[in-house]
Structure 1
Amino acid sequence: MDKQPCVYILSSKPYGTLYIGVTSDLVGRLYQHRTDSIAGFTRRHAVHHLVRFEMFGSMEAAILREKQLKRWHRQWKINLIESDNPHWANLAPSIGLPALPPMDAETSSA
């Protein structure tokens, strides 16, 4: 996948901890999250599953969308994820990354 501005949402499990980020290299950034190579929120909370991403023509537009989504209520974010990904599938394989072990749906809470 070529470098392109993108907003992405990661989840620890269905209905679990969510993380919203912005990048111009989605594959590279997901690799960093998966390998816990950067200290921070996603490493502390094991947030590694890509459940939504949106591509943009400019980084400015992507940053504006990221800021918008971060202001949203949690339920709005869940509704957005489920509008295109109702089963909370990990979307990383669709952009060329290997699959992760399935998210544990039985311990999730809404």
Structure 2
Amino acid sequence: MAFWTYMLKCADGHYYVGHSDNLEARIAAHQSGVIGGYTHSRRPVELVWCETFGTREEAIAAERQIKGWSRAKKRALIVGDWDLMSVLARCRAGG
């Protein structure tokens, strides 16, 4: 079974990071408002990034890591700018 870590862009421009074992159903639930909380009042949402993991623990670890990132680093992940991600990681580590 695959587990997903995903990032949504909300209507207000904020990013939401979560994990699921059924990505399509989870995105639909966010979109319809079935899931309360952060995304409920920020719909519609758009899936901007996702990655699969072999275990739920790996997906949760990735979710927690990404939630701690700056907005700039999240944007770099979304567009796949690995050079910028590396620079941003060094800036944070040194700062």
TM-score by length of 2: 0.77
Higher relative helix content: 2
Q: Where is the strand percentage greater, Structure 1 or Structure 2?
A: 2
Match of 1:46 in 2: 43
Deviations 1:23-71 (A, max 9, x none): 1110110110111112211011225100000000111111111010011
Quick check: which has more Rg, 1 or 2? Answer: 2
Distance 2:20 2:44 in 1: 16
Unaligned runs of at least 5 residues, structure 2: 82-95
Unaligned runs of 5+ in 1: 85-110
> Counterparts of 2:57 and 2:23 in 1: how far apart (Å)?
16
Aligned length: 81
Bigger relative contact order, structure 1 or 2 (CA pairs below 8 A, ≥6 apart): 1
Please identify runs of 4+ aligned residues in structure 1 that moved more than 6 A. Answer: none
Match of 1:12 among 10, 13, 29: 10
Deviation string 1:1-25 (CA, Å, 9 cap, x unpaired) is xx52000000025x91100001111
* Percent of pairs with identical residues: 35
The two structures, once aligned, show a CA RMSD in angstroms of 1.8
1:62-110 C-alpha deviation (Å, 9 max, x unpaired): 11110100111111001110117xxxxxxxxxxxxxxxxxxxxxxxxxx
